[in-house]
Each structure stands twice: as structure tokens, then as C-alpha cells.
């Protein structure tokens, strides 16, 4: 199983990867993207074609590449967990392990995603991440639980992301312990009986609030 539908523009990927050396110094802006384009043999026109909306397009691609890498890393495990909750645990930790070398870039990205104009994209990227996790775990049903599962995981992942950003230990031990506590909390989440439309709207508001909170805390 793999997310074969994900076929990013190879020029955009090359420019983004080269830009990651510049983001810690220049932020997610045109300067970093232009420097990355130059480093990878592209001109300014190619950079603007690859990222017509600039930094926000680059941030979205960065998140989607990390989701893709997470699934690939999970599929490459010599032995995968046989229980769903342990599979989700492994996927969350893989996602954060992949992001560990670029933690500052993630922090800066969240500050941009916290802007009101980017609320919908923030919610969409969070949804894409947790959806990729559930699908990798084999949970592809489209029943009512489709939304509750993703909503619950969005809460767990967002809280764990916040803990990871605050952890300067250089390893994932503390974050893993935090995640274990949050996964235990899922069992205490009451069943949701409101219409699906309400759940989707509430999920978007939740994701927006989480991302804005992360951005406010780490833009200081």
C-alpha cells in the first residue's frame, strides 16, 4: 500500500530540498527559495513557476513530502506492529523523526500557517497527515467512524507536535512518553452523535485553533 496519487513536481521538490539549508537563516520566504533554486541549478522563473504562491506552497509541499516519507518508512519496517494503536504510535513517531533535522523549519512554518489567511490550508494539511496515518494503518473505511478516528488522531498528533517542538533533548524519548499518554486518553473520548457536517466543521475549527496556538507560542 502506498499513496501513489502523490506525484509532486520534481522541479519543486529539488528547489525545496535545496532551500531547506537556507530556511533556518532566511525563513520561509522568497530569499530562501531563490537561494535553493540557484543551488539546484534553477532560475527565478522556475522557482516562481514551482511555487506560484511562494512560501505557503513550499510549506504545503514540505508537509506532503514528510507524509509520503512517513508512509514509506513505515512500509520499510522489518516488522510492523500488529495492533492498530501501536501502528498509529509508530507512524506518529516516524513523522516526527523525519522532521527532527528540520525542527526549526517546522516551527517557522507553523508561524506562517497560524496566520488567519492560511486557516483552511492549516486544517487541510493536518487532515492529510492524520488521514495518511490511518490509511497506512489499514483503516480505509468511509463509515461514520472515518471522521471520529481522524478527529481523535488530529487532537493527539497536534498535542504531540507541540510537545515535540518544546523538547530540546535531541531525542524522541520524552515525546514518545507524551504520545503514549495521549493515546491512552483516546479511550475516554465520548462517542460523537452529531451530523457529519457538524463534525467536519468542528474539525476544521479545531485544527485552526491548534495550528494558531502552535504558531503563537513559537513565533516569539
pLDDT in tens, 49-77: 999 999 999 999 999 999 999 999 999 99
pLDDT in tens, 112-131: 998 999 989 999 999 999 99
For residue 153, give the nearest of 91, 65, 75, 72 by alpha carbon: 91
Model pTM? 0.82
- Point out the least confidently predicted range of 113-117, 142-146, 189-193: 189-193
Three cell numbers written together for 81: 506492529
pLDDT in tens, 198-211: 434 444 454 445 54
pLDDT in tens, 150-185: 888 888 999 999 999 999 888 999 999 999 998 886
pLDDT in the model for residue 170:
85
Torsion of CA 205, 211, 213, 214, to 10 degrees: 160
pLDDT in the model for residue 149:
79
What is the full DSSP assignment across 185-218? HHTTSPPP-S-HHHHHHHHHHHHHHHHHHHHHHH
Q: Where are the domains of the chain?
A: 102-218
How sure is the predictor about 189, in pLDDT bands with cuts at 50, 70 and 90? very low
Amino acid at each position: 500500500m502506498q499513496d501513489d496519487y502523490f506525484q509532486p513536481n520534481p522541479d519543486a521538490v529539488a528547489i525545496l530540498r535545496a532551500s531547506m539549508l537556507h530556511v533556518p537563516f532566511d525563513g520561509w520566504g522568497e530569499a530562501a527559495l531563490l537561494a535553493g533554486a540557484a543551488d539546484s541549478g534553477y532560475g527565478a522563473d522556475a522557482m516562481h513557476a514551482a511555487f506560484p504562491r511562494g512560501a505557503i506552497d513550499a510549506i504545503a509541499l514540505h508537509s506532503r513530502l514528510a507524509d509520503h516519507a512517513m508512509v514509506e518508512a513505515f512500509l520499510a519496517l522489518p516488522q510492523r506492529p500488529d495492533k492498530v494503536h501501536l501502528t498509529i504510535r509508530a507512524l506518529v513517531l516516524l513523522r516526527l523523526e523525519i522532521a527532527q533535522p528540520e525542527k526549526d523549519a517546522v516551527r517557522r512554518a507553523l508561524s506562517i500557517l497560524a496566520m488567519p489567511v492560511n486557516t483552511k490550508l492549516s486544517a487541510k494539511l493536518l487532515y492529510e497527515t492524520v488521514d495518511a496515518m490511518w490509511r497506512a494503518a489499514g483503516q480505509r473505511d468511509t463509515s461514520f467512524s472515518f471522521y471520529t478516528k481522524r478527529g481523535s488522531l488530529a487532537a493527539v498528533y497536534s498535542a504531540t507536535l507541540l510537545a515535540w517542538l518544546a523538547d530540546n533533548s535531541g531525542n524522541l524519548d520524552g515525546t514518545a512518553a507524551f504520545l503514549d499518554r495521549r493515546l491512552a486518553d483516546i479511550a475516554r473520548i465520548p462517542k460523537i452523535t452529531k451530523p457529519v457536517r457538524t463534525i467536519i466543521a468542528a474539525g476544521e475549527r479545531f485544527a485552526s485553533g491548534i495550528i494558531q496556538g502552535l504558531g503563537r507560542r513559537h513565533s516569539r
